[in-house]
Amino acid sequence: MISKTQIGDIRNRVQVALDLVGKDLGMDLKMGAISYDSDGFRCKLKGRWEDSLPEVCVDYDNHQIFSGLPMRGSVIEFQGDPYQVYGYKKRATKRPIIIADMGGSQYVISERACENSKIIQEAEEAN
């Protein structure tokens, strides 16, 4: 029977191999959740090109089309300070919008807070 410790060891070793293969292919390869029983295990594999946009940015662009939110990359004034609209967390219900201050630190806010914020500089196109 496979133990939880062995699954953790397998995950670490496979991730090291995936990092090497991903580097050769120019991809970021990650293992998802592992489920296992007495006979073996199963896992999900996710790969993204290294130069592709982060998933939260793509999700924001898809959500922004229908919601009327400012374009990704726009600078908004939130609580008196400038922040750049960065991304969208699909699974977050209360505060799904990701914003970043000018130093790069990221924060999450609600859609309503983003809608009510003053746009300082509108992004020309999604970057």
> Which residues does the chain have with pLDDT short of 50?
none
What is the per-residue pLDDT for 21? Answer: 95
Within a domain: residue 127?
no
Q: What angle do CA 111, 114, 119 make, to 5 degrees?
A: 155
Same domain, 64 and 94: yes
What is the per-residue pLDDT for 118? Answer: 92
Within a domain: residue 38?
yes
What is the per-residue pLDDT for 107? Answer: 96
pLDDT digits 0-9 by tens, 40-72 = 889 999 998 888 888 899 999 999 988 889 999
Q: Which domain holds residue 44?
A: 4-49
HSE (CB half, 13 Å, CA atoms) of 93? Answer: 0
What is the per-residue pLDDT for 79? Answer: 92
68: domain CATH number?
Answer: 2.30.30
Asked if 98 and 84 count as a contact pair (C-beta separation under 8 A), the reply is no
What is the per-residue pLDDT for 125? Answer: 66
